[in-house]
């Protein structure tokens, strides 16, 4: 059976890095690619950043590879995460040999709750002066995340939260995650999200896997991106019960879009996560190794100090696949 992979390039460098990743996927497997549209350009044309057709395709696909959207990012990616009922956003932040990193010791995976927190989005304008947002935390979502974390990191993980202030909501999050871990015999360490921000700078080695609420995961993974040399290298996976959506953590990079010089590494690493998720463990590992070898030995795009094109880098990665 040929798996169906929906491909949503989106805007800006999405149009360059997603085709690069498709080239790599094509080189290692036999997939059916279905293109779908989303983002600023579609909104310009149709008034809607995320056509229903794209939503439906993503919801039904075996997996989706997404690039980036511009101003409409939130209008596109939040519903698409929902389309795959994604309860966890897996975000590895790893420094690579050959890439300048503020903290080369960094190798942390964030398991970000992907459905609630402030992202549940109930906001009200209560008066001329006052607006509110209802932050939502459920035991069920926290437990689902924790089950995943126990499988992912049986050797133990950190739980980041701000339960000293958000006692009821982050307290529920923390207690639910810790309870599931205990049932599964998995060790956990708690860390306040503000303290994490300091400590990951001072001692990144101490963190391997960090389970966090939605916004905490957003900010802390971007912080880790700063420690490994920028967003250009971070892949991510939005995992749902039946399928999943993979995307680089970076945006559309309008300053370099259209020039063919974007770094495709984050998207190709996202494709490696996609392969592993579909059960192609060996192919996923091969792609990851080829990306790492290319980061170490070149060719490199301008963001990493080189002058290679997106195509050059992609060709080098394909060459290095065994």
Cα 127 from Cα 74, distance rounded (Å): 26
191 touches ligand IPM (CB under 6 A):
no
Chain contacts with a second copy (rule: CB under 8 A):
73-74, 78, 102-103, 118-119, 121, 123-125, 128-140, 162, 164-169, 171-172, 193-195, 197-202, 215, 218-220, 222-223, 225-227, 229-231
Residues near 27 by beta carbon (within 8 Å), at least 6 away in sequence: 318, 321
- Is 267:250 a contact under the CB 8 Å cutoff? no
Q: Which residues are catalytic?
A: 119, 162, 194, 218, 222
Q: How far is the CB of 45 from ligand IPM (least distance, A)?
A: 21
* DSSP helix/strand/coil, 222: helix
CA count, 13 A, side-chain hemisphere, 31: 27
190 touches ligand IPM (CB under 6 A):
no
Q: Which does 202 bind (CB under 5 to 8 A by kind): ligand IPM, a second copy, none?
A: a second copy
* DSSP helix/strand/coil, 301: coil
78 touches ligand IPM (CB under 6 A):
yes
Q: Which does 124 bind (CB under 5 to 8 A by kind): ligand IPM, a second copy, none?
A: a second copy
- Is 215:120 a contact under the CB 8 Å cutoff? no
Partner residues linked to 159 by β-bridges: 190, 211
Burial class of residue 185 in the structure, from the number of CB atoms within 10 Å of its CB (0-12 exposed, 13-18 middle, 19+ buried): exposed
- Is 175:209 a contact under the CB 8 Å cutoff? no
Partner residues linked to 91 by β-bridges: 110
Peptide bond into 194 cis (omega under 30): no
Q: How far is the CB of 282 from ligand IPM (least distance, A)?
A: 29
- Tokens (6 digits) for 206: 């101490």
307 touches ligand IPM (CB under 6 A):
no
Stretch that binds ligand IPM, among 12-20, 69-77, 136-144, 181-189 (CB under 6 A): 69-77
Closer to ligand IPM by Cβ: residue 57 or 73: 73
Q: Which does 53 bind (CB under 5 to 8 A by kind): ligand IPM, a second copy, none?
A: none
74 touches ligand IPM (CB under 6 A):
yes
Closer to a second copy by Cβ: residue 222 or 311: 222
- Is 215:119 a contact under the CB 8 Å cutoff? yes
Q: Which does 77 bind (CB under 5 to 8 A by kind): a second copy, ligand IPM, none?
A: ligand IPM
Closer to a second copy by Cβ: residue 167 or 296: 167
218 touches ligand IPM (CB under 6 A):
yes
Q: How far is the CB of 157 from a second copy (least distance, A)?
A: 20
Rule CB under 6 A: choose which of 46, 132, 164, 184 binds ligand IPM. Answer: 164
- Tokens (6 digits) for 87: 């309860």
Number of Cβ within 10 Å of residue 21's Cβ equals: 28
Closer to a second copy by Cβ: residue 33 or 167: 167
Residue numbers of the site for ligand IPM (CB under 6 A)?
73-74, 77-78, 164-165, 194, 218
């Amino acid at each position: 059976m040929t798996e169906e992979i929906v491909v949503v390039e989106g805007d800006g460098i999405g149009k360059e890095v997603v085709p690069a990743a498709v080239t790599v996927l094509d080189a290692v497997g036999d997939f059916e690619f279905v293109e779908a549209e989303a983002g600023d350009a579609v909104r310009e044309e149709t008034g809607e950043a995320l056509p229903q057709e794209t939503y439906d395709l993503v919801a039904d696909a075996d997996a989706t590879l997404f690039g980036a959207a511009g101003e409409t990012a939130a209008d596109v990616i939040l519903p698409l995460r929902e389309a795959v009922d994604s309860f966890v956003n897996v975000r590895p932040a790893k420094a690579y040999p050959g890439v300048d990193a503020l903290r080369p010791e960094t190798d942390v995976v964030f398991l970000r709750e992907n459905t609630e927190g402030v992202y549940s989005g109930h906001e009200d304008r209560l008066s001329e002066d006052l607006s509110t947002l209802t932050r939502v935390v459920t035991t069920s979502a926290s437990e689902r995340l924790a089950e995943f974390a126990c499988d992912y990191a049986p050797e133990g993980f950190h739980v980041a939260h701000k339960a000293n202030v958000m006692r009821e909501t982050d307290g529920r999050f923390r207690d639910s995650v810790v309870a599931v871990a205990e049932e599964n015999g998995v060790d956990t360490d708690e860390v306040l999200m503000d303290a994490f921000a300091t400590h990951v700078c001072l001692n990144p080695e101490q963190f391997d896997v960090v389970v966090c609420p939605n916004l905490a995961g957003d900010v802390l993974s971007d912080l880790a991106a700063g420690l490994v040399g920028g967003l250009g290298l971070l892949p991510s996976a939005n995992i749902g019960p039946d399928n999943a959506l993979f995307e680089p953590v970076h945006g559309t990079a309008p300053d370099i879009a259209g020039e063919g010089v974007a770094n495709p590494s984050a998207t190709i690493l996202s494709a490696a996560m996609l392969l592993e998720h579909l059960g192609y463990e060996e192919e996923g590992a091969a792609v990851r190794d080829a990306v790492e070898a290319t980061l170490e030995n070149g060719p490199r795009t301008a963001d990493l100090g080189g002058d290679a094109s997106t195509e050059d880098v992609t060709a080098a990665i394909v060459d290095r696949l065994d």
